[in-house]
């Protein structure tokens, strides 16, 4: 977190809802990319535990355990508390304060037309999502981003509308509440409280789950980042393959096979070449091919699980990292709130009360 890093490329913020142990889809679609960003940007990565409540408010018993699982997977993946600020949303109350300020100026229509709103409401019919908090989901996300004055938000395609809303909210805030020049801040030349963030699109290769559909917790077809080796191998054994390869003697095509997709992401080009050749000529069987895929996956998972071990054995270490990170995050968030309150004429500055009024 040196100054040169701050100046060179800017600040990054991203987070995930704590839904439990993360899987390879989360790794390939986000985490792997975040790990690589740590050297180039000033990074803030967090656990969006309040966001978990927007859909799971009726039963919050697993939020804490799930948050622990997520920080374990963050650390396992290689997010490094020495280089990045790792924190948990609910320990930085300034997010809630900024969300409230934004709620005053955000037209309902902006939130109602966010694509994920109607979709999720349709998809999660068993939950009552006719709540204020659920409608406000993307606005809380805007507060998450803007409170760190983040320049870039590494996200998948599905989150781009949320970053776009964030930019609109920032503009609207400035229309009503231009920045006061008196406020001390990170960059005195900046004219606005909130720089407009850009999405940093994560390239997401196709990652199928064990049933060939997109890997997703809701399909029950995941391979976890913490998957033990025997169960990893077992899952691969029963994974669906190119349907054209019914018998061992039928040639197949790795481009039409979910196992082939895994090879493309995790295997070396030599292994890839053997897979293409062997599959198309029926020179290899699927069992053998899946064994190679398991080897490739395990070579990625093993070092992560090694890193994870020490925190799993002593979760306090992981919570400590989140606490130290949250304290850093609060400092940065509070500095932004000073500017935001000041702009909205809600400055907390006051003279100490006179003795008689203070009542002592």
Footprint of ligand SF4 on this chain (CB under 6 A)? 241-242, 245, 252, 254, 257, 259-260, 275, 279, 284, 286, 289-290
DSSP state letters, 253-299: -GGG-HHHHHHHHHS-HHHHHHHHHHHHTT-S-HHHHHHHHHHHHHH
**Between 197 and 260, CB nearer to ligand SF4:** 260
Q: With binding defined as CB under 6 A, does residue 73 bind ligand TRP?
A: no
Stretch that binds ligand TRP, among 15-23, 219-227, 280-288, 296-304 (CB under 6 A): 15-23
**Is 159 a residue that touches ligand TRP (CB under 6 A)?**
yes
Nearest to 181 by CA among 194, 171, 190, 172: 190
* Closer by beta carbon to ligand TRP, 13 or else 257: 13
Q: Which helix (H) or strand (E) holds 3?
A: helix 3-9
Per partner kind, with CB cut-offs from 5 to 8 A, the member of ligand TRP, ligand SF4, none near residue 153 is: ligand TRP
Comparing CB distances to ligand TRP, the nearer of 88 and 293 is 88
List the one residue out of 308, 270, 333 whose CA is nearest residue 71.
308
141 binds, among ligand TRP, ligand SF4, none (CB under 5 to 8 A by kind): ligand TRP
State the binding partner of 144 from ligand TRP, ligand SF4, none, CB within 5 to 8 A by kind: ligand TRP
Q: Which residue in the set 12, 16, 86, 225 belongs to the binding site for ligand TRP (CB under 6 A)? A: 16
- Measured CA to CA in angstroms, residue 137 lies from 17, 89, 310 at distances of 11, 13, 34
Q: Is 11 in the site for ligand TRP (CB under 6 A)?
A: no
d(Cα 165, Cα 271) in Å, to the nearest integer? 44
β-partners of residue 11 are 42
* Alpha-carbon span 245 to 252, nearest angstrom: 5
Best CA proximity match to 267, nearest among 289, 238, 244:
289
Residues that bind ligand TRP (CB under 6 A): 13-17, 48, 51, 141, 144-145, 153, 155, 159
């Amino acid at each position: 977190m040196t100054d040169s890093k701050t100046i060179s490329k800017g600040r990054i913020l991203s987070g995930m809802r704590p839904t439990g142990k993360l899987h390879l889809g989360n790794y390939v679609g986000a985490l792997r990319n975040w790990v690589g960003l740590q050297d180039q940007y000033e990074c803030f990565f967090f656990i969006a535990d309040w966001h978990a409540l927007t859909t799971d408010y009726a039963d919050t018993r697993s939020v804490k355990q799930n948050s622990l699982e997520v920080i374990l997977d963050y650390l396992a993946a290689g997010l490094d508390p020495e280089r990045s600020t790792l924190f948990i949303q609910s320990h930085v109350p300034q997010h809630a304060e900024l969300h409230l300020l934004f709620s005053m100026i955000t037209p309902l229509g902006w939130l109602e037309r966010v694509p994920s709103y109607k979709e999720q409401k349709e998809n999660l019919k068993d939950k009552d999502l006719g709540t204020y908090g659920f409608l406000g989901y993307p606005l809380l996300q805007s507060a998450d981003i803007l409170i760190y004055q983040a320049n870039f938000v590494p996200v998948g395609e599905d989150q781009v509308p949320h970053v776009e809303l964030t930019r609109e909210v920032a503009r609207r805030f400035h229309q009503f509440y231009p920045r006061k020049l008196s406020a001390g801040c990170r960059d005195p030349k900046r004219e606005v409280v909130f720089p407009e963030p850009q999405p940093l699109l994560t390239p997401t290769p196709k990652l199928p789950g064990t049933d060939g559909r997109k890997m997703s917790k809701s399909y029950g077809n995941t391979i976890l980042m913490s998957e033990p080796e025997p169960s990893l191998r077992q899952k691969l054994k029963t994974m669906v393959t190119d349907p054209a390869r019914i018998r061992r003697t039928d040639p197949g095509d790795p481009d039409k096979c979910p196992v082939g997709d895994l090879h493309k992401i995790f295997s070396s080009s030599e292994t890839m070449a053997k897979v293409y050749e062997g599959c198309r000529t029926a020179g290899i069987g699927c069992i053998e091919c899946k064994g190679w895929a398991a080897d490739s996956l395990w070579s990625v998972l093993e070092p992560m699980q090694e890193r994870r071990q020490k925190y799993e054995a002593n979760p306090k270490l992981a919570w400590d990292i989140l606490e130290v990170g949250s304290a850093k995050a609060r400092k940065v968030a509070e500095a932004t709130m000073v500017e935001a309150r000041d702009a909205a004429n809600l400055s907390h500055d006051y003279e100490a009360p006179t003795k008689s009024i203070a009542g002592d």
